[in-house]
Structure 1
């Protein structure tokens, strides 16, 4: 295997692994830019590999988080099911949710953890995320190619930013609250009755 092939394989593995982390991982675009600056890899290949590995890692993270639903009480599971029905039962809310995965500036780990807890359909969510990352990584790597010699301080400040760390902590707390809030009661209080689910679904939720 050639040196270039090993470099691309390393990119694929590293990006996949950091996207498995539930919090406090470096931004993927920073990692890709560092690979670009140090190994002078093909920008197009780097974008495609980065988006693929990132989407794969986030899909696995959401799937693993979804397994935690079984450890929740029946009441908590039914509450999360009510929230999922509320978010997916209206076209506008569904489109907004998908747009959040595509263009949100927030760290995506917690978005996928929330999707996993809600048992949201992960394939369309991941596909939209992949498309968004193709665009954003193209912009970042394109900028890195143009301004190669002035990016060092910018990347260091991105990795060590106190504001970025605070945002990560707040988003982790938000995921915890997602499972703690009684969404059934909250949605009913807000005047939106949760969509009717067949009795078989309800009994399955309580199992």
Structure 2
């Protein structure tokens, strides 16, 4: 029971980080290799803690919206409308994103800033993480043949890993600069052809 609680708290803490946290899959694999917990339980606890951490991160970013300039607030409101007018596309996109190894912090930060409803968003993330963590846990044998320290270090300190984190932060900042209202205009709207 203690191992489950520790796993939950570690994964929750990592997923509360806005950037530069170690990948959660590495914790899932580490636990799979070093504990007697069933893989299915590790995957479930990991996905649940990751989803809760990202949900809390998004809620925290909602408070930052008040400090943004008016133009960025308008752009974020329009982004929210784009997502909420196409909920199936947004949930499908999130589920695909959740299956990938890409960092998800900035996606939840953007959702929080935009004020997007987070229930279905987080549920899709949870399901995607259940699938992706299951794949990582099932392939843990590959990591047994290498040094876990090397995996952690390479992931966090490689130029590619650092560049990806910086790029995601820049994309998050760019999100608020986009005039999302132009995506809401219909084909019959004369402003859409301008």
- Cα distance change, pair 91–65 in 1 and its aligned pair in 2 (3 A): closer
Moved over 6 A (4+): none
Match of 1:193 in 2: 185
Match of 1:167 in 2: 164
| CA distance in 1 between partners of 2:142 and 2:99 (Å) | 24
**Structure 1 range deviating more: 22-31 or 77-86:** 77-86
Question: Are the equivalent residues in 2 in contact too, given 1:20–1:57 (CA < 8 A)?
Answer: yes
| CA distance in 2 between partners of 1:57 and 1:128 (Å) | 14
Q: CA RMSD in A?
A: 2.1
Q: Tell me which structure has the larger Cα radius of gyration.
A: 1
Unmatched 5+ residue regions in structure 1?
A: 195-207
Match of 2:58 in 1: 62
Give the aligned length.
184
1:46-57 to 2 correspondences below 5 Å = 46-57=42-53
**Given the two structures, how large is their TM-score scaled by the length of structure 1?**
0.79
Aligned partner (choices 130, 147, 164) of residue 126 of structure 2: 130
Task: Report the 3-state secondary structure (helix = DSSP H, G, I; strand = E; otherwise coil) of the residue aligned with 2:185.
Answer: coil
Task: Report the 3-state secondary structure (helix = DSSP H, G, I; strand = E; otherwise coil) of the residue aligned with 2:116.
Answer: coil
1:1-207 to 2 correspondences below 5 Å = 5-90=1-86, 93-144=89-140, 146-147=141-142, 149-152=144-147, 155-156=151-152, 157-184=154-181, 187=182, 192-193=184-185
| CA distance in 2 between partners of 1:77 and 1:58 (Å) | 22
- Cα distance change, pair 148–77 in 1 and its aligned pair in 2 (3 A): closer
| CA distance in 1 between partners of 2:127 and 2:180 (Å) | 31
| CA distance in 1 between partners of 2:87 and 2:145 (Å) | 44
